[in-house]
Amino acid sequence: PYGWSGRILWADLSRGEFREWRYPGEMARLFIGGRGFAAKILWEFLEPGADPLGPRNLFIAAVGPITGLPGPNTGKLVVAAKSPLTGGYGDGNIGSWAAVQLRAAGWDAIVVEGAAEKPSILVVEDDKAWLEPAEDLWGLDTFQAYDRLVERYGRDAGILLIGPAGENLVRFATVVAQKGRSGGRPGLGAVMGSKRLKAIVVRGSRRPEVFDRDALMKAASEAIRAVRQSPSYGFWMRQGTMATVEWAQEASVLPAYNFREGVFEGYRGISGSYMEKIEVDLRSCPLCVMPCGHVIEDEEGRRVELDYENVAMLGSNLGISRLEEAAVLNRLADLYGLDTISLGGTLGYALEAAERGKLELDAGWGETRKIAGLVQDIALRRGVGDLLAEGSARASRKIGETWYAMHVKGLEVSAYDCHAAPGMALAYATSPIGAHHKDAWLIAWEVQHGRMEYSREKVRKLIELQRLRGGLFETAVACRFPVVETGIDPEYFIRLLRAATGLDITMEYMNEVADRVYALIRMIWVREHGGWSIEMDMPPERWFREPLTKGPLKGAKLDRDRFLEMLRMYYEERGWAPNGVPLPETLRRLGLEDAVPLAEKHAQRG
Ligand code: PTT
Ligand code: SF4
């Protein structure tokens, strides 16, 4: 086959066994790769009710047909598992040489089950796989461990690893690649930790086979030229995602003080414009043609790669108005392997709970040094850090105040306040992994199109974005920024897919793949939770309860009834029942017959 190797590496760490699974060709056609493969594998092989931090959970790393090929920004891979943070489907998308190497080794995915007895490294070299001891690395931070792994396996090795947070099963620990590339927000690092897997190291020596190399090269060079000629390319190269700080402030969506407000008085000090003045380096994922890893030196003179989400969640959301201070927290998150968004959301919740006298905490808004201490406590599960390592949903239930815990399904909201953005709130509510912006960054469109409206048009736009971002880019597996940031035509990626696979793939075809993957992921959630209700898709109570008190949109908040109406429209558009379960006929149309019995049991019509 072209585009796929047709092989998945199955590693059982309990038994120390490694086997090749030649999966059916239909799986490639229906699910493409990446998130699609992850969803299919979890649906078929994950034991329902398995403890996410137990040996029966499956940890998956998957590439897609265009990963690692010529073309803009194809050095990405998807990591997925049942999430210890949400109890549902969880995934993330990381830029890493491991993506390129996995393809060169001739595997479309790695599935890891069981748990090793001792800290281990899974080494994959072309067709062979084995475990090596990692006792000497256990306890090391991700930078130290990365350096040791490079020494041991060489500069060209693809490396995915965890830090102390993953080892200590912090529920929002991530998987880290290179220094400062991190993914798998819903606790994928803890899943690796529970398997005592410090790292996965991959090397391959083959060139992936493609159907039509000339067509591939042509599409790739045209796409790269389009990126470089884009009017937004220059500004992107200067600020990357950091440009969003000033934009978010202007649009009143910059989270401040645990999402109490959408504007922050100190936004200039954490902005992209300020960053430009102190930037010391620019890094990127492999094969990237528009690098966005802007590096500055933090308060302590150490190098940190920044992103908007990190800076907003660990800056304005915690009342911190100096970039160099937010960077201290960002760096700690990278070192320990903690998700910056969930960390910022959980810390924001804790600071507010302390302010309300519900939690004893020796830290307040803007107190960076003390907050940094808390970050360490979380990673090492010390004192109150042990409670906060559970994430804001669990911590808030324990504390007994849940309405200002800013999460959906247990995953903390990314850095866009939604008091005045019902569509973005719906994007969080319906994201397949909990509140993440990656599937639908509706906010930019929404602020210009009837911002406070609850309309079907908005619902349709949301689904359009979910199909493109959560479908095409998560299954073909490449970075979505060439399309969503420099605005090149997504058709370039369809051409790459066609040239790689030889299949007659169109955008409509990929939209259907996206709908199939969405429906199947929803069925995984339904199975894990023993049913579903519309309340389980609701955004945080704060946005309905308490209006903004500052900025041009002062007084704005969401309307519960109108939001529910829009959520029902969303289900309708997707062919899901009014309680959020895909209808049997929808599943049949998408070729998901094996999920029909579960849907028949749980879908409540009207
Ligand atoms: C992503 C999430 C994001 S989304 C950010 S900043 W962003 C945070 N980054 C973190 C970090 O850094 N360190 C850390 N310890 N935790 C972090 N948590 C947060 O994780 C990332 C880029 C970005 S930067 C974005 S939007 C795009 N996301 C893509 C995606 O989801 N799919 C895709 N096909 N392409 C994408 N391109 C862009 O990639 P998660 P990365 Mg990340 C330091 O992984 O789990 O999806 O969460 O992977 O290699 O760092 O690239 O303003
Ligand atoms: Fe990585 Fe940024 Fe390049 Fe995308 S644009 S591949 S996230 S460096």
pLDDT in tens, 330-341: 999 999 999 999
Between the CA of 482 and the centroid of ligand 2 the distance, in Å, is: 9
In ligand 2, the atom with minimum distance to the C-alpha of 480 is 4
Ligand in nearest proximity to the CA of 184: 1
For residue 480, give the ligand nearest its CA.
1
* Shortest-distance ligand to the CA of residue 334: 1
Name the closest-CA residue to atom 43, ligand 1: 180
Report the distance separating Cα 430 and Cα 409, nearest Å: 10
CA 291 – ligand 2 centroid, Å = 5
> Of 66, 77, 307, which is best to mutate to test ligand 1, by the most ligand atoms within 8 angstroms of its C-beta?
307
Assess contact for 473 and 480: CB atoms under 8 A.
yes
**Dihedrals phi, psi of 193, to nearest 5 degrees:** -60, -40
Q: Whose CA is nearest to atom 25 of ligand 1?
A: 438
Tell me what pLDDT residue 606 has.
74
Two structure tokens written together for 260: 């109490």
pLDDT of residue 524: 98
Residue nearest to atom 39 of ligand 1 (CA): 479
Q: Is the ipTM of this complex over 0.90?
A: yes
CA of 428 to the centre of ligand 2 (A): 23
User: What gap in Å lies between CA 538 and CA 107, rounded to an integer?
Assistant: 38
Domains and CATH numbers, the chain: 7-203 (3.60.9.10), 240-415 (1.10.569.10), 428-487+506-602 (1.10.599.10)
Q: Which residue has the tokens 């329902």?
A: 48
166 Cβ closer than 6 Å to some ligand 1 atom: no
Sole residue written with tokens 């903690």? 338
The 10 Å Cβ neighbour count of residue 499 is 27
CA 30 to chain centre: 23
* Exposure string over 100-109, b if 16+ CB within 10 A, otherwise e: bbbbbbbbbb
Res 605: pLDDT = 87
Write the residue with the smallest CA distance to atom 24 of ligand 1.
Answer: 307
Pocket of ligand 2 (CB under 6 A): 73, 95, 284-285, 288, 290-293, 479, 481
Identify the CA nearest to 283 among candidates 304, 299, 264.
Answer: 304
Q: Rounded to the nearest whole angstrom, what is the distance from the C-alpha of residue 182 to the centroid of ligand 1?
A: 6
pLDDT of residue 313: 98
Cα separation, 536 vs 430, in Å, equals 10
- What atom in ligand 2 is closest to the CA of residue 485? 5
Closest-approaching ligand to the CA atom of 180: 1
Residues whose CB is less than 8 angstroms from the CB of residue 464 and which lie 6 or more positions away in sequence, other chains included: none
Ligand 1: centre distance to CA 376 (Å): 22
Side chain identity at 460, as an amino acid letter?
R
Q: 168 vs 42, 191, 212, 480, CA distance in Å?
A: 24, 10, 47, 32
Residue 140, pLDDT score: 98
All residue ranges of the chain with pLDDT < 70 are: none
CA of 418 relative to ligand 1 center, distance in Å: 20
User: 323-336 and 368-380 helices cross at what angle (nearest 10)?
Assistant: 10
Pocket flag, ligand 1, residue 348 (CB < 6 Å):
no
Spatial separation of the C-alpha atoms in residues 594 and 600, rounded to whole Å:
11
Q: What contacts 17, CB < 8 A, 6 or more positions away? A: 11
